[in-house]
Amino acid sequence: MSDERPTSAELRQGVTVELVQGDQDVRSGDTEPIVGEVATVYGDDPEGPQVELKNGAVGHVLSVVADE
């Protein structure tokens, strides 16, 4: 995983991302990313763009998952 997170301009509905929800701490490694498709992009944030996934999870994007 890269330290450089995508911007909200690089995201769109349907793209698959890894995100961190709420109080999980990315810096300490105390996190388990959720992988899912973006439903709504709320905008940029210092912790990464905030999005809502199609499964209802809301959090900050860590990275975009490449299509296989």
Which residue would you say has higher pLDDT here, 18 or 32? 18
3-state secondary structure of 40: strand
Flag whether pLDDT at 1 surpasses 50: no
Beta strands 16-21 and 50-53: pairing type?
Answer: unpaired
pLDDT band (50, 70, 90) for residue 24: low
Query: Are the beta carbons of 38 and 51 closer than 8 angstroms?
Result: yes
Which residues, 6 or more positions from 13, have their beta carbon under 8 angstroms from its beta carbon? 37, 38, 39, 40, 41
- Model-level pTM? 0.77
Task: Please state the separation of Cα 38 from the chain's center in Å.
Answer: 8
